[in-house]
Amino acid sequence: KTMLKIRDNQQGIISILSEFTEGFDALAAIPPSVAIFGTARAKSGDSAYMAAVETARLLARAGFGIITGGGPGIMEAGNKGAREGGSASIGCLIDLPSAEAANQYLDISPGFQHFFIRKTMFVKFAQAFIVFPGGFGTLDELFDVLALVQTKKLDSCPIILYDSAYWAGLVNWIRGTMVDSNKILPQDAGLLLLSDDPQEICNMVIEAYAVSHFSEDAYVMNHQALSRG
């Protein structure tokens, strides 16, 4: 029995490593990208769906790829906007018994058996995260990113909530109850940005990306100059 357990564990580890490798290979050549999270239940006539299409379209025209979970609702809207904007449309699919079919707007669609590997792809390849109204899955993705940035496991990046009315209760609780009870610092609460305007969201992402990459370029140039000296 012990040997069978060891063998099963080894096979599980090999499967996980293989899934990571396949995911990294599938996404290795994508342009700088933005992740869009949100409910799978949104319909094409919903205001959030249309806003997600427009946000993704603007970002795509600015040169960003769009990464979603590849399913319906807000995910579909993000991929549709990416397609309309002429940039890479990526969907990281998850294999579940009750999973919805992949949407029709995907250019690249790696599949995953494990949620944690799928989420790794989002944080590895996204330069910003735009979170539309959603349920538990959306909250899981949001707080995963927040925790990674808070603990500096992920570089600081825009985390933007669309629909300030929907998110008001959560944001007020974070900025009030959590900060006031010393569970997080005020700067942690400041990681969350809100906007109801797709163009403003696009501008936030472009500005943050320009600043971060200017800093990286300056660091490299300074390091090279010091090395020559």
Domains belonging to the chain, first-starting first, are: 30-228 (3.40.50.450)
Query: Model pTM greater than 0.85?
Result: yes
Encode pLDDT of 9-44 as tens digits.
788 888 899 999 999 999 999 999 999 999 999 999
pLDDT for 9: 78
Other CB atoms within a 10 A radius of the CB of residue 47 amount to 11
| Among 37, 23, 45, 119, residue whose Cα is nearest residue 71 | 37
Helix (H) or strand (E) holding 117: helix 115-125
Mapped onto helix, strand or coil, the DSSP state of residue 34 is strand
Q: Which among 132, 129, 104 is positioned nearest to 191, based on CA atoms?
A: 129
The predicted pLDDT at position 217 comes to 54
Coil vs helix vs strand at 94: strand
* Cα–Cα distance, 27 to 14 (Å, whole number): 20
Angle between helices 2-27 and 115-125 (to 10 degrees): 30
pLDDT in tens, 165-188: 999 999 999 999 999 999 999 999
How many angstroms from the chain centroid is the CA of residue 124?
9
- Residue among 59, 70, 61, 69 at smallest CA distance from 33: 59
Give residue for tokens 């735009």.
Answer: 130
d(CA 56, CA 195): 14
Low-confidence ranges of the chain (pLDDT < 70): 1-8, 99, 214-229
Q: What is the DSSP letter of 101?
A: P
